[in-house]
């Protein structure tokens, strides 16, 4: 039987956003029962934010393992690393997971514009994490694949941050097959679903209506479905997107494979706007994130909601336990 699970590690995110505030509020909500986590740096700003929120001051720790002893009384904070606070905290978190000091990573939102101004060469967090972990072993097909997870619905995206016309033009059977394979493997490994059921959303109204409203379902989606079914993956579709997200339809699958950004995000955010979690599938490390941005317009006002971060922390802990063979 594996020993106790290591704490999670949480990045501070953009220090000018709501990351410090929701980190402290998440700690206040979780300190009675956990999961235990430590923040990678930012002791000064977290101390100022704790005073604003009238919470106990955070505690400096040297290693994630120390978080177990500090967590009931104070938010545990690891030492700052030199360099950009946002990037250094991500690198520090990955190195601690590699060393076995942390069980998984939860990332607070960062400002992509600020990162790009510093010469950041990756589209975002996810691609940077894939780069940092490219040499780590992972059974099965690698991602990254973006999942939006809420208790009522999980969706994954074949294309993400592209203009809609570019997303449609870039769809291929190979991309759909890759996304579905990674999702199938992750549902088994990370969510402990022994026999995952996937559903593929159509692209066109009525899923193309036999080609009368577009031929992508015939030319692109059908070959992908045939390939996946030949591999033993249980996947239905293509399903009309306007009828696959109501309660009865959701009972028929464990995750929906969506073809473009809004097709997957709108139903999750409609069902659970404050509690959705961004999960990166197909990485050798556990990574979740709250499903919102830096919210600089409300930073420092004490009104930010920590719901999505709390859900992300709990889900990261569950996935880490599932990967170790211990159900959380």
Q: Reply yes or no on whether the pLDDT at 328 is more than 70.
A: no
pLDDT digit string (tens) for 198-250? 999 999 999 988 888 889 999 999 999 999 999 999 999 999 999 999 999 99
Residue with tokens 């990045």: 11
Angle (CA) 67-71-77 rounded to 5° is: 55
pLDDT digit string (tens) for 157-179? 999 989 999 999 999 999 999 99
Residue 109 corresponds to which tokens in the numbers above?
């939102």
DSSP of 264-294: HHHHHHHH-TTT-EEEEES-SS-EEEESS--
Question: 206 labelled as ligand-binding?
Answer: yes
Question: 69 labelled as ligand-binding?
Answer: no
Question: 125 labelled as ligand-binding?
Answer: yes
Question: 269 labelled as ligand-binding?
Answer: yes
Omega cis (within 30) before 259: no
Question: 287 labelled as ligand-binding?
Answer: yes
What is the percent of the chain with per-residue pLDDT over 90, rounded to a whole number?
82
Strand, coil or helix: what is 211?
helix
Per the confidence metrics, is the pTM higher than 0.85? yes
Q: What domains appear along the chain, each with residue ranges and CATH number?
A: 1-134+292-328 (3.40.718.10), 139-282 (3.40.718.10)
pLDDT digit string (tens) for 261-313? 999 999 999 999 999 999 999 999 999 999 888 889 998 899 999 999 999 99
Question: 126 labelled as ligand-binding?
Answer: yes
Q: Are 13 and 108 in contact (CB under 8 A)?
A: yes
Query: What is the band of 1 on the pLDDT scale with cuts at 50, 70, 90?
Result: very low
Distance, in Å, from the CA atom of 137 to the CA atom of 290, rounded to the nearest integer, reads 26
Question: 184 labelled as ligand-binding?
Answer: no
Distance, in Å, from the CA atom of 105 to the CA atom of 142, rounded to the nearest integer, reads 18
């Amino acid at each position: 039987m594996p020993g106790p699970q290591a704490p999670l590690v949480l990045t501070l995110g953009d220090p000018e956003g709501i990351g410090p505030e929701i980190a402290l509020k998440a700690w206040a909500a979780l300190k009675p029962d956990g999961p235990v986590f430590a923040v990678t740096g930012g002791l000064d700003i977290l101390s100022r934010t704790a005073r604003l929120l009238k919470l106990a001051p955070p505690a400096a720790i040297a290693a994630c393992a120390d978080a177990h002893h500090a967590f009931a009384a104070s938010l545990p904070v690891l030492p700052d690393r030199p360099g950009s606070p946002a990037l250094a905290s991500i690198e520090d978190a990955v190195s601690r997971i590699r060393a076995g000091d942390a069980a998984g990573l939860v990332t607070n939102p960062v400002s992509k514009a600020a990162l790009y101004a510093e010469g950041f060469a990756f589209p975002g967090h996810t691609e940077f994490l894939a780069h940092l972990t490219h040499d780590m072993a992972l059974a099965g097909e690698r991602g990254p694949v973006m999942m939006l997870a809420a208790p009522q619905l999980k969706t994954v995206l074949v294309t993400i941050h592209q203009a809609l016309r570019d997303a449609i033009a870039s769809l291929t059977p190979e991309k759909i097959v890759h996304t579905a394979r990674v999702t199938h493997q992750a549902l088994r490994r990370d969510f402990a679903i022994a026999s995952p059921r996937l559903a593929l959303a159509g692209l066109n109204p009525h899923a193309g209506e036999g080609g009368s409203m577009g031929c992508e379902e015939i030319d692109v989606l059908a070959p992908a479905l045939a390939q996946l079914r030949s591999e033993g993956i249980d996947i239905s579709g293509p399903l009309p997107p306007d009828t696959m997200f109501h309660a009865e339809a959701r009972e028929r699958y464990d995750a929906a494979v969506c073809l473009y950004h809004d097709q997957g995000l709108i139903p999750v955010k409609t069902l659970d706007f404050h509690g959705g979690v961004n999960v990166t599938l197909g990485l050798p490390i556990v990574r979740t994130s709250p499903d919102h941005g830096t919210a600089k317009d409300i930073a420092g006002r004490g009104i930010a909601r920590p719901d999505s971060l709390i859900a992300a922390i709990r889900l990261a802990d569950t996935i880490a336990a599932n990967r170790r063979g211990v159900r959380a």
